[in-house]
Amino acid sequence: MGNLRSVQKAIEHVGGSAVVTSDSNVIANADKLILPGVGAFGDAMRELASRGLVEAIHAFIRTERPFFGICLGAQLLLERGFEGGEQPGLGIIPGSVVRFDLPPQYKVPHMGWNNVTARNDRTLMLRDIPDNSHFYFVHSYICQPSSPDDIWLEADYGGRFCAAIHRNNIFATQFHPEKSQSNGLQLLKNFVES
């Protein structure tokens, strides 16, 4: 759902090769997997299930090949989301996806550029990206992993929130690297070269 072509073009721009697919056999044989997404949590999970992709994503991640989730694709990794009532997620990362609970002066959705800082970075994924760099966000819901160890990057919008998740071979950003100019392209380049 959503930003497939812009992610594909960004990957190609940084020297990678990307195939847009809903074929579980193509996914099973991929070197790396990106799950982008824009839209509603429950609708996206139903779409993945109807295409037989839930198990394909689980199977891919179990192989420990690099996986990258973007925006809704990051949120879907968690156990549950609360957009339109409680909905089950992929259950790969323990935790929930909840709506921003902000002081009245903050608009939801959070839309625009925001600084991102590393909380737990044990990777080369941030190579050539200065800490406190800006990335582009468009979201009303945020990931709340159960373990603070799964929070890779943070941002502040009326309070600190999880801007990205990292666990083993999984990287997932709430922001859109494909829309985040040079820093976002560098992040995608680092993923392509990982």
Active-site residues, by number, are 71, 176, 178
- How many other C-beta atoms lie within 10 A of the C-beta of residue 170? 20
Residue 19 token pair: 């195939």
Task: Name residue, tokens 């940084």.
Answer: 14
One-letter-per-residue 3-state SS of 21-67:
CCCHHHHHCCCCEEECCCCCHHHHHHHHHHCCHHHHHHHHHHCCCCE
Q: What's the CA gap between 164 and 154, in Å, rounded?
A: 7
| Burial (0-12, 13-18, 19+ Cβ within 10 Å), 39 | middle
Task: Name residue, tokens 């002066």.
Answer: 105
> Beta strand 170-173 with 67-70: parallel, antiparallel or unpaired?
parallel
Task: Name residue, tokens 């779409």.
Answer: 47
* Residue (of 134, 63, 142) closest to 98 by Cα position: 142
